[in-house]
Structure 1
Amino acid sequence: MNNINEFEAILLVDDDPVINILNSKFLRRTGYLHKIWKFENGLEAFYYLGQIIKLQESMVTKNPILVLLDLNMPDFNGWDFLRLYNDLEEHIKDSFRIVVLSSSCNPADIDRANADPNVHGYIIKPFSIESIDAIEKFFSYS
């Protein structure tokens, strides 16, 4: 993957609805063409993964879905999401790619996230054109 448009869809998981709207609009302005789902709760996003898998079965292309995951959310945070996600079967996890998008610049959070085998990268907010470049580099196989 060399272009963010190669992702089938993007899941924005952030407890701040304004951040989700701004990130969604930013993705559109940078040329992202596919579906964007917004969730304000990690648990809702996690349970929606099953629905996404069913939707993906009917899609012609089977490109993965990008999950932009905030860590610091009330009730069910990004760490809780990752804990449940890591217990999923591999064939389900193959449909998703997780990048943490967090305001935390705490080295312990960055190290912990980067140590997770299902986290492909860590970006510190705010979301920007440099964030898009970083995501494309995380998944560049050339």
Structure 2
Amino acid sequence: MAFNSTILLIEDNLIDQLVTKQLLKKVLDINQVFIANNGLEGLQWIIKNKKAKQKLVILLDIQMPIMNGFEFLDIFQTLNTEIQDETQIYVVSSTLDSDEIEQIRKNEFVEDFLNKPIPVEELKKQFLNSFLF
């Protein structure tokens, strides 16, 4: 089986970027992960690089400077439906704020909420169930 999606990590913390990239490589043999340092960079990457019929998986942090994850999700809902339909968003955050977690879980574009550090088995399960073809 081959992984048939593009990965975009929207995360401002350099250590979390490195750890997540290594985790994806080790657990799922994914070598190419695109990185955006905040929600604005993530939106710019999508607009510039997203190709039609290309599955996109976004791992989205919530607390970031310039544009946080909630602001990203607000603007994401205004993008065309083709982009929305071909994108799966997983929020990856260390938040313990129950209001934030509820807001994340209620968002129609968020597939799931994963706590940092990303639990390896949960990540593997999510990706194997959803993205291998």
- From 112, 115, 124, the counterpart of 2:106: 115
Q: Is the 8 A contact 2:3 2:30 kept in 1?
A: no
Is 1:20 matched up with 2:11? Answer: no
What displacement does 1:138 show?
7.1
TM-score, with structure 1 as normaliser: 0.81
Shift in alpha-carbon separation, 1:117–1:72, aligned structure 2, 3 A: same
Aligned to 2:57: 66
Matched AA of 2:103: R
Matched AA of 1:38: I
Q: Secondary structure at the match of 2:95?
A: coil
TM-score, with structure 2 as normaliser: 0.86
Q: Is the 8 A contact 1:43 1:76 kept in 2?
A: yes
Aligned residue-pair number? 131
Q: Is the 8 A contact 1:7 1:66 kept in 2?
A: no
Structure 1 distance, partners of 2:4, 2:126, is: 11
Shift in alpha-carbon separation, 1:35–1:88, aligned structure 2, 3 A: same
Structure 1 distance, partners of 2:125, 2:113, is: 9
Aligned to 2:32: 35
Is 1:97 matched up with 2:94? Answer: no
Which sections of structure 2, spanning at least 5 residues, go unmatched?
none
Q: Is the 8 A contact 2:36 2:45 kept in 1?
A: no
What displacement does 1:113 show?
0.8
| Same amino acid, percent of matched pairs | 24
Cα deviation, 1:59-79, whole Å, max 9, x if unaligned, reads xxx451110000011221001
Q: Is the 8 A contact 1:67 1:97 kept in 2?
A: yes
Matched AA of 2:61: D
Shift in alpha-carbon separation, 1:107–1:20, aligned structure 2, 3 A: same
Greater than 3 Å deviation, 4+ residue runs: 136-140
Which sections of structure 1, spanning at least 5 residues, go unmatched?
none
Shift in alpha-carbon separation, 1:111–1:7, aligned structure 2, 3 A: farther
Q: Is the 8 A contact 1:68 1:99 kept in 2?
A: yes
Matched AA of 2:49: I
What displacement does 1:35 show?
2.6
Shift in alpha-carbon separation, 1:33–1:136, aligned structure 2, 3 A: closer
Structure 2 distance, partners of 1:67, 1:111, is: 19
